[in-house]
Each structure stands twice: as C-alpha cells, then as structure tokens.
Structure 1
Amino acid sequence: MVMGGGRESGGMAAQAGKLGVVASVAINLAALAVYLRRRYSGDDVAGGRKREEEGEELAVAPSSGKPPVTPDSVINLDHGDPTMYEQFWRGDAGERATIVIPGWQTMSYFSDVGNICWFLEAGFEREVRRLHRLVGNAVAEGYHVLVGTGSTQLFQAALYALSPPGAAAAGAPMSVVSPVPYYSSYPAVTDFLKSGLYRWAGDARTFDGETYIELVCSPNNPDGGVREAVLKSGTGVAVHDLAYYWPQYTPITEAAAHDVMLFTASKCTGHAGTRLGWALVKDRVVAQRMNKFIELNTIGVSKDSQLRAAKILKAISDGYDHAPAVGDRTRLFHFARRKMMARWGALRAAVASSGIFSLPDELPGYCTFAKETVAAYPPFAWLRCEKEEVYDLEGYLRECKIVSRGGAKFGADGRVVRISMLDTDEAFAIFVDRIAAMK
C-alpha cells in the first residue's frame, strides 16, 4: 500500500509538473503576444487605449506588419523601416519588379562554382554593377561582388576577414573603432559573438594605437555627415559603410573606390524585408575570407532573395535607361528625393515653430547624378533639444508618444536622438505635428 501510494503520488506530482510547465509556457507566450501588440499599438504608454480589453482587432499592413497609425498612436521612429517607398512600388515600377520563381529554380546551394562567391546569382551581380554605373556612386569594375544577408552579415564578414588569423591565440584582438556619433549597432554587433579576433574599442578620435579596423559610415548614421577615415596607419584598415550613399539622400560627389565597401537593398530601394546586401571588395584574399565567413555562417545567401533583388534593381535602372522621363513614376531616386526634400522641409519648419529643438545644417554639394547642386536629405534626423531641463530627450519624446533612439547608443549625450525619416506619410505627419506643438 505504501509503495502503491508512493507511485500514485509520484505520478500525480509528475503530471502536475508537466501541467505546470505547459501553463508556464502558455503564460509566457501570452505575455509575449500582449507585449508585441502593446509595443506597436501604444498600450505601453500612459493614456494609450487598451485595445485588447475593448475587443478591437489590430489589423496590420501586409507590407509592414504594423497597424495603421491614428492621431493617438505611438509613433515609432526608432528603426529605419523604409515604408516610405511602398507608394513608389505600388505604381508602375512595382509591376516591372514582379517576379515568378518556378518550383524547380534555385534548388541547389550553388550559383557558380567557379566564382569566389559561389552562391552569388549572376543576374544579381550584373544588376549591382549596372546600378553603380548608372548612379556613379562606386567603382564596381575590378572589384569582387559579394552578397550577404543584409549588410550586417557582410560587416561581420569584413571584421573576420581583416583580423589577423593569429589574433585570438596571441590574446591581442583587433580593435574596431568609429568616430562618435557612430551607428548604434556597431558596438553590439562587433562584440555579440565575443570573438577573440576583434573587439569594440570605441571612438576613433580618441583611439591610441596603430592596429585597428575603422568603420567609416558615409553619409553617417545617425547625423548624415559626410565622412572620411579619421585614422591613418600602415597597419590599420578601413571598412566603408556606404548604405546611404545614394542620390535621394546626399549629393553623389565621386565614385567611391575604397578597399571594402558595403551596401544594402533596404536603404537603396526600400526592400528591407528582402534582407540582402552586397559588398565591393578590391583584394581577392579579403574577398575569399569574407566569403568563407558567410559560407560557415549561413551556407550562402537566399537565391530567391537575390532573384527578387535583381529584378528590383533592374526595374530601377530600366526606369532611367529605357522609360520616358514622365514624372517620378518609374524613377526611384527622383521619387525618393522629392519625398525626402518635402519631409526635411516640414521637419525644419516644425523645429522652428517649436523653438526648443535644433538640427544639423544642410550640406549642399554638386551631384554628378543629378548634374546640379543639391542639398543633402539624410534618412535620419539628428534632433537635439535646447531646453535646459531636458537631459533625456528619448524619454521626453516618449512621454509625447514618439519613440526614438537616444544619443547614448551612438556614443553621444542624452540631449540628442535619432529619428527615422523613412516611415509612412501618415506616421511622419503626426510626428511633425507633435514636434511643432512642443514648447
């Protein structure tokens, strides 16, 4: 009886334990769902509507995964989600960028076994080179083209390729630096894997050493400044992040010809969800090492994404090479530049009306693509608060239902934030109205 009772009570305990685990998982999943809904619906901000309690359905846009904004919404401009471009791709250009991939296509790991980047689709490489010739923002001839899952993977591949192989064994990881304000993801991505090959070493302007990898983002994220390498050393190397060096954001002053140059589809075409970037690499050995990193990391890059991106890039180039110049319907850079010019004009007017904020000065220059002198319209606004009692601008804006990214994440002070200029027209209009109303 005692033994039987023990088995029975033990079985009940085990069953209860299983139920407890299931219940715990269910509760955690439910909590996660509520958090995500509140994150984008505004329920995590005081005064936000409790949509779950009111039984409302949160319809999300198929292209962005977020509900439409209302005058009472939290406006999340923390990420550079380029939904501004949807209007362009819903027009004539979108039809030209449509692609159907047969079931038999892209089944193999390989695209070209004779290429350094053996998973690079020939059509994508061809359109990358063609687009750079059209825009004139980078020299592509004589460079190896590599493809990555976004430019972030290529950034990691570059760090791996440019670090001495014996750095880990010697206990002397390569120092990775960038001038303040630097892109907020540089420190996190550099140190995420805790590699013995390299480590984040902070501000390039205060770095004291001869061996380093300097990250040069130009135009710079977050402040839009045009940059060159700060450090000069025979044993130092530079990686040029040119994600925003396109004519809708900045004057194209020359064809860049650096050793390693990184680009991304998300900020060029607006297709962030395609998760595709490319690198132009001068040295064959560096290209091979970068490719090896991607091979070991993800065994290549989605060929379906490459086919889609190739069609998108082709539609952009065709819009200039073949289509008649009728408005901006097929000319992406003209469309985007017009949008950016209008948005920057609206934001500067709102800042002037408010009187408590400031923005960097405009940076005009002669653009070889536009063939005229134009101003720069960066994809992010580096917004500073001049109000003496405001030391945490990110928190101050959050109280007004504006989500931004604070300056501390970029190595700067808390009185400045980065604001995305690439969200939908509706979200941007609400944001500008709120800025103008702050006194």
Structure 2
Amino acid sequence: MFNFCACVNFKQETSDEERRRDASIRKKKFKKSLKEAYNVPLTLVSPRESLNYREDRIINLDVGDPIMYEKFWKKMGKKATIVISGWRYMSYLSGGQSLCWFLEPDLCQQILRLHRVVGNAITEGRYIVIGTGSSQLILAALYALSSPNSSQPTNVVSAIPYHSSYPSMSDDLKTSVFKWGGDATTYEKDEPYIEIVTSPNNPDGSLREPVVNRTGGKVLHDLAYYWPHYTPITAPADHDLSLFTSSKCTGHAGSRIGWALVKDPEVAMKMVNFIEMNTIGVSKDSQLRTARILSVVSSSCEQAGSSEYPESFYGFGHRLMTERWSRLKQAVKHSGMFTLPDFPTAHCTFHGQQTQSRTAFAWLKCEDDEEDSAALLQRHRIIGRSGVSFGSEANFVRVSMMDRDDNFDSFVQRISKITRLSED
C-alpha cells in the first residue's frame, strides 16, 4: 500500500482559427526580423563608447527566466550549497515508500513543509508526483486525465489569454489521446474535455476559476505563480490536481523540478507511468538540490528578521516586485502608448496584510489598436512575446519582469521614451 506524502477581461473579436493563421504569419516575420537583429556584426568599442553600446543592446524579455533572485541566493552562500559524492544516488530508485517511486524522500518532506509554511495549498490526502519542470507534468496530467476509451482525442481548452505553450503541447505530439480545443470561454462541444486553469494567469496575471463547468470535464490547475511574492495568498488551494514548479517559487529554473499534488491515486499512478515512459524518473541531483533550496526558503520564512535570515525569500521577492511594478507603471504613464491591467488588493495570509498582485509578467496593451506591440518593442530593441501567441490580439505583448537589474533598468527607460511623437 502506498503512503500519502506527509480579472481582467479584454474584448476578443477574432476566432481561434483566424488567430492561429495570423500567428503563423507573424511568427515567421518575427523570427526573420529577430535573426536580422542578432546578425548585426559585432564592433569593438572603446571604454568611452561602452555606455552607449550597452544602451543599444537587445533586451530579451520573451522568456520568464527568473534570474532577478540571484542577489538573494548569493547572500545565502553555503546554506544553499549541496555536495554529492560520486558514489551516492546512483540507482534509478529512491528510498521512499511513495507512489511516485523516483521521488526522493527529502524533497517530499521539504515540499510538504513549504506548503505548510506558506499556506498556499492543501497537501493532506494528496499524492506528490515529481516531474522535470511543470512542462513534463502538464503532459503527464493531460495523459492521465484523458478519456482512455474514447474514439476521439480529449479536447484541451483554456480561456484566452492562455499560456502560449498549451496549444503546441497539446498538438505537436500528434497523439490520439488529447488535442488542443481552443478557447474555454467559447467551448460548446458535447464531448469530454480538460480545462487548464492558470491562476494567477500567465500572461495577464488575472485570478481564474474554471469557465466551462460541464459534465464529463476534468480540470488541471496550474498554480506556478500562486506564491506570496507574486500574489496575495488568500486561502490554501484545494483542487483535485494542482501543479507547482521550483522555477517560479524559488527562481531555480535550471534545476527543472516541478511537482503535482494529486487527490486521485489512479490519476497519480498514470502520471508516474507517463514520466517513467518518458524519462525513467527525474534527476536525483536536481531533486536533492531543490530539497536544500526549499529548506532554506522555509527557514527564511520561519526565522525572518533574525541575524541568520534578515529577510525571508518571499519578503525579498515581494519587495523587489513591488518596486519594479511601481517603476514600470510610472514609465508606462509617461509614455502614453501602453496600458497595464489593474489588479485587486486582498488580505494575504502569509504577509498578514493587504497586498496587491505583482505578477511575474507585464501584459502591455498598445493604445493604438492597429499597432503590433511586439514589433513596436522590437524597434526599440526589446524582445517580448506577441499577444497572438496567447490567443489574443497583436496589440498585446508579454514581457518578463524577472530579469537582472541592468536589463530591467534599460527596459523601463526605453518604455518611457516610446511616445506617439517618437513613433510619428
């Protein structure tokens, strides 16, 4: 017997099919222009010219690489360091009794501890399934939730704007098990479906609930951003299947560790089987490093204000994100070319006070409805991801708020200078 491991709404006018055709054309044009930008010959510059050269560099904010947290982890020093002897952890198998046979017991305990400290998810009565990032877990969950006896692939849907990878993850494998079904708000088929609910949402930061709510449907909750440095923790998430990832809760994207909290043992076992077929488990080295990192995060929360941990990781992250959002809003206001979503304020049980969402991405909307926002930013050597990739319109663009200080500083400066006058 296995043991448990102790809104912002914008009007949409075009159809999914029109968006997909348009997206293909725009992606080709974007890749061509991006290649041209990167193929500019390198030029040697003198120290006197270096400042101007740096200000003319390309700032890539297309990917949500959370490297702004480097400053915190440098301060942690040896606390977050782990050394693994060459002879240890050589087996495929872990030493635990979990349903997920490749889950390291130490990581299991640190996941449970972190959720208990933060209060963002119920872990009692759940199985933990570990994966190589949340991307592998999404595929494993779609596989496990699909209808095995259906003659047609199960439709995968998500409300616009949805994560840009959901359509390709659903379709590129060409599987007969599941397929992309489009916008959840317009889904009307009388067939089994899986709705992916991302909350806070990537890209626009809105707080979401399922919208289809029909018989025969399953729901997959992607909670990668439900952490107190991004959004108020109002209650522990209580879902049948929830996904989390270390890349967003600690900043360690390179470790490629994600986990699922699963209520149904059959679903959990199917997810484990998928990962077993796909990668025969998950790197033990990454699991052990992540366990140490999560331990430091929990300790920083429990001992915040002490000499050892002057500030918790989530206190640091919340402060930094608040500062960055304040600066971006000022720059956007000065520019007059863009708008940003408004986020509600709520009482955060972790911080013990009223806080406002400070999401990992900025969802910029160009006030000129005919403007291609990604192309506009590209003219200023800023790379963002077009709204078309998220099923939305071209006048939206997503940019990461998690880059290093120098890139973020340059980004804010450039945004403030993009005015109607400068574009005329």
**1:87-108 alpha-carbon deviations (Å, 9 max, x no partner):** 11000x2421100011111100
Equivalent position amino acid for 2:249 in 1: C
Question: Equivalent of 2:270, from 282, 286, 289?
Answer: 289
Find 1:73's aligned residue among 57, 62, 74.
Answer: 57
Matched, 1:132 2:115: yes
Q: Which residue of 2 aligns with 1:117?
A: 100
Secondary structure of the residue aligned to 1:44 is: helix
- Give the corresponding residue for 1:89: 73
Residues 363-402 of structure 1: pairs in structure 2 closer than 5 A: 363-390=344-371, 392-402=372-382
Aligned length: 380
Q: Does 1:306 align with 2:287?
A: yes
Aligned pairs for 1:19-418 (under 5 A) are: 44-45=36-37, 50-51=41-42, 54=44, 70-91=54-75, 93-112=76-95, 114-167=97-150, 170=151, 172-210=152-190, 211-322=192-303, 324-325=305-306, 329-390=310-371, 392-418=372-398
1:113, distance to aligned residue in structure 2 (A): 6.5
Aligned partner of 2:56: which letter?
D
Mark the runs of 5 or more structure 1 residues left unpaired by the alignment: 1-38, 57-68
Pair 1:323–1:361, CA change in 2 (3 A): closer
Q: Cα 1:114–1:224, aligned 2, differ >3 Å: closer, same or farther?
A: same
- Distance across 1 between alignment mates of 2:96 and 2:127: 15
2-structure distance, mates of 1:108, 1:389: 57
Helix, strand or coil for the counterpart of 2:236?
coil
Output the CA distance in 1 between the equivalents of 2:63 and 2:288. Answer: 26
- Does the CA contact (< 8 Å) of 1:316 and 1:330 recur in 2? no
Q: Distance in 2 between matches of 1:418 and 1:151?
A: 20
Q: 1:43 to 1:196 in 2, by over 3 A?
A: closer
One-letter identity of the residue aligned with 2:123? A
Q: Pick closer, same or farther for the CA change 1:240–1:285 going to 2, 3 Å.
A: same
- Distance apart, 1:328 and its partner CA: 7.0
CA distance in 2, matches of 1:436, 1:144: 48
1:427 counterpart (407, 414, 420): 407
- 1:323 to partner: Cα distance: 5.5
Tell me which amino acid in the other structure corresponds to 1:87. K
List per-residue Cα deviations over 1:391-439 (Å, max 9, x = no partner). Answer: x111111111000000010000000000100000100000000000011
TM-score by length of 1: 0.83
Q: Is the 8 A contact 2:301 2:314 kept in 1?
A: no
CA distance in 2, matches of 1:187, 1:236: 18
Shift of 1:326: 5.7
Q: Is the 8 A contact 1:350 1:435 kept in 2?
A: yes
Residue pair 2:66, 2:247 contacting (<8 A) in 1 also:
yes
CA distance in 1, matches of 2:78, 2:126: 32
Secondary structure (helix, strand or coil) at the match of 1:383 reads: strand
Aligned to 2:10: none
Distance 1:326 1:366, change over 3 A: farther
Q: Which has the larger radius of gyration?
A: 1
